[in-house]
Amino acid sequence: MTTGNVVGGHKANINNPNTSEEAKQHSKEVLDQEFDGGKIPQSDEDKNPGNVAGGLKATMKNPNVSDEAKESAKERLDNM
């Protein structure tokens, strides 16, 4: 299980209306103590390169994405 999965699970737990307040508090504590409040390191090293490239290509073709984001995606794809 990756760090992103653990953080995502705790964030989902906090926002789940069916979760007890005790469980939500536990998730908040875990995120604060072990994951700097839930920040996920942004690194492509642990990711599948094909998935990363696909996401970057999709970003470049998405009409709802800013030109700056499209240029950033293009640069990252070129550097792969």
Q: What is the pLDDT of residues 43-66, one digit of tens each?
A: 656 678 888 899 999 999 999 999
Q: What is the mean pLDDT of residues 26-38?
A: 86
Sign of the C-alpha dihedral, residues 38, 41, 44, 47?
negative
Question: pLDDT over 70 for what percent of the chain?
Answer: 89
The residue with tokens 């800013």 is 66
Regarding pTM above 0.85, the answer is: no
**Rounded distance between C-alpha atoms, residue 43 and residue 45, angstroms:** 5
Q: What is the mean pLDDT of residues 25-51?
A: 79
Q: What is the predicted pLDDT for the residue at 4? A: 77
